[in-house]
Structure 1
């Protein structure tokens, strides 16, 4: 990646990663990340089929749930505290 390309990408990377590359340690970290990712270009993928997600070719439906009627008293009986019929969360 050329220096000109890096200058275009840096503001986007800073915004996405919340790391500022304006200092020497940030620039060093960015260069190390780019060098690490560039190793992927050296991998021989001849004869390797692209991976296909099973969800790309077929629809996966959720199971059919049946609703069951529950009484408010059945639900609230598990609460430790209730105020006007509502659950109360502890104050730490």
Structure 2
């Protein structure tokens, strides 16, 4: 696949990226190298290879949800930067 400046500009707009003419050409060259590398994967023989459904062969081991001892509230709040009697205090982030 051959990348064009139009494709790069549209992608940059969607990603909210801005760059000057020199950087644009460098980015185009780098992206073209990536696309060329991915195109090489089409040459790999994958006959008989099962699709990968996960990155690990480990199997989840589920456990029962059991009530157990928990950390007392006072001890949990002891090292909090700011706390009232029951909760952590954090700065307001929503107006």
The CA distance in 1 between the partners of 2:20 and 2:45, in whole Å, is 32
1-structure distance, mates of 2:36, 2:76: 56
Structure ranking higher in helix proportion = 1
1:7-63 deviation digits (Å, cap 9, x = unpaired): 45x323x2348475962111111111111111111101112222344xxxxxx6854
Q: TM-score, normalised by structure 1?
A: 0.50
- Change in 2 beyond 3 A, CA 1:35/1:83: closer
Asked if the contact 1:82/1:88 (under 8 Å) is kept, the reply is: yes
Q: Relative to 1, partners in 2 of residues 1:2 and 1:21: Cα closer, same or farther, differing over 3 Å?
A: farther
Q: Secondary structure at the match of 1:44?
A: coil
- Where structure 1 has 5 or more consecutive residues not aligned to the other structure, the ranges are 54-59
Asked if the contact 2:82–2:89 (Cα under 8 Å) also holds between the matched residues in 1, the reply is yes
Number of residue pairs matched by the alignment: 79
Is the alpha carbon distance of 1:26 and 1:52 closer, same or farther for their aligned partners in structure 2, counting shifts above 3 Å?
Answer: closer
Alignment match, 1:35: 36
